[in-house]
Homo-oligomer: A and B are copies of this chain.
Amino acid sequence: MHLKMNNRRKFLKDITIGGAAITFMNSPLNSFGSKTAEKIRIGIIGVGSRGRLHMKELLKRTDVLVTAIADTDVNSIEKAKSIAKEMGSPEPAIFSNGNNDYRNLIKSEKVDAVIIATPWEWHMPQTIESMKAGKKVGLEVAGAIRLQDCWDLINTYEQTRTEVMILENVCYRRDVMAILNMVQKDRFGELLHLQGGYQHDLRAQLFNTSATCCDGVGFGPESIGSAKWRTAHYEKRNGEIYPTHQLGPIAMMLDINRGNRLTKLSSISSQARGMNRYVANNSKGGPEHPNAKLKFKLGDIVTTQLQTYKGQTIVLTHDTSSPRPYNLGFRVQGTNGIWQEFHDGEPDKGQIYFEDASPSETWENPKKYMETFDHPLWKKHEQKAVGAGHGGMDYFVINAFVECIKAKQPFPLDVYDLATWYAITPLSEASIQKGGQMVEIPDFTRGKWKTRKSFIHIKDQFV
């Protein structure tokens, strides 16, 4: 058990006063004095497809128990229970009694820490409630609904000191980490300009109404998976609504909140056509289907320009409702070189150039550099990562979360990163509402960015 002492004291106090605590003391999940004493007991709030992927990663480990799950969807709960059974894990406690039963999971003494993988609008309130309950949080990625939520998060952290990690798996993509390694070894020189995008045609998921993904032209409560809730954001919002897959790796490389910070952004958006077109061209829809005519507010391609304190520039792209193969489109450019990638993480699908190493003015295939600068973390954990979700990235992000809790060490991607990255969404919405005007990005660290340690602490141990 690696609860912080103040929480442990609270825990010991709580179990002496309530009936529920007595029941808990008799539960096989009580780890005190048992041979599972060193296991971290995790509750998962949201066991849709993403939450269940995290659950599988957690249950592969010997240092974790998934002791509780919360979801309002019975099918998701049943699927999660099946996973526990198949993986030989005790059945977790279930919290599925409506929208607010997750609060009981958070309060539960069976839970040391939570992972949150719910619809976006629940991320901030659930994170803040967990922090107030002293439960460390691993939060799935999204963007904030309101800028104030980001401040509430920071204020709650500074009151409670309960740590939060944003589970940004792309920060652990093998090529991204090799490039980070090159950045930190000064191969690119001083960084100047970075780009990244969430460029992934999600329309089949956004209109999925069939149990076997993906088929349909509907969305909302009667649909399946993220079509239940994510598509509504496309109807009602216009901005960089999913910024962290692209910004996370960039922020690591630029040491954002660690000697550098994001200062300003401006966003613009294209026409919104892809959602209607998908429905109109689908055999289950057609041009007269209501969703072929519904006004979606989110532009098909949203572009955001950002500036940093140190002078670097960043371009982010959100592009999820147009026909296109997946590609995050990273570009990392410094005074000594440039890398661009065009597919989905394959080390040889891109181009790289270093002034002091490449043939003059000639692109090279990045593969040899990816091998030479393979990140120590990947070298060490490669075998464990094989088979993990999203090309192994999911292993690393869960591993960092669990190992930091065990070692009582700060998370590598913390609450200040979370607030800063999430804030891009409401700020970009504000910029677009103002016709593309530049808006200031708050300093959520309140000046601490000047002295916080670099991301270079992502080393070869576990985080």
Chain A residues engaging chain B, CB cutoff 8 angstroms: 189-190, 192-193, 201, 264, 266, 268-271, 273-274, 277, 299-301, 303, 305, 307, 310-313, 315, 319, 322-326, 333-338, 340, 342-343, 351, 353-355, 361-363, 434-438
Contact = CB atoms under 8 A, between A and B. Distances in A.
Given A324-B338, A342-B351, A270 B192 contact: yes
B315 A315 contact: yes
Oligomer copy total: 2
A289 B354 CA distance: 24
A436 B301 contact: no
Contact of A322 (B335, B343, B363, B438): B335
Q: Name the residue among A193, A273, A434 with the largest chain B CB count within 10 angstroms.
A: A193
Contacts of A324: 333, 337-338, 353, 361
A313 B325 CA distance: 20
Contact of A193 (B303, B335, B336): B303
B335 A301 contact: no
A360 to B, nearest CB: 9
Contacts of A310: 271
A436 B438 contact: yes
Contacts of A300: 192-193, 335
B305 A268 contact: yes
A437 B438 contact: yes
A63 to B, nearest CB: 37
Contacts of A312: 270-271
A264 B326 CA distance: 30
17 contacts: A192-B273, A193-B300, A193-B303, A201-B361, A266-B268, A266-B437, A266-B438, A268-B307, A271-B312, A299-B313, A300-B335, A303-B315, A305-B305, A323-B337, A323-B354, A324-B353, A436-B438
Contacts of A193: 270, 300-301, 303, 319
Contacts of A362: 325
Contact of A325 (B315, B322, B361): B361
B273 A335 contact: yes
Contacts of A201: 361
A311 B361 contact: no
Given A335-B322, A436-B307, A438-B438, A313 B363 contact: no
Q: Name the residue among A269, A277, A322, A323 with the largest chain B CB count within 10 angstroms.
A: A323
A335 B274 contact: yes
Contacts of A437: 266, 437-438
B271 A311 contact: yes
A349 to B, nearest CB: 9
Contacts of A303: 193, 305, 313, 315
B337 A363 contact: no
Contacts of A438: 266, 434-438
Contacts of A273: 189-190, 192, 335
Contact of A192 (B271, B315, B326, B355): B271
B277 A335 contact: yes
Contacts of A326: 361
Given A264-B436, A322-B338, 13 more contacts: A264-B435, A266-B437, A268-B305, A268-B307, A270-B312, A301-B313, A305-B305, A319-B333, A325-B351, A342-B342, A342-B363, A343-B363, A434-B438
A330 to B, nearest CB: 13
A277 B192 CA distance: 13
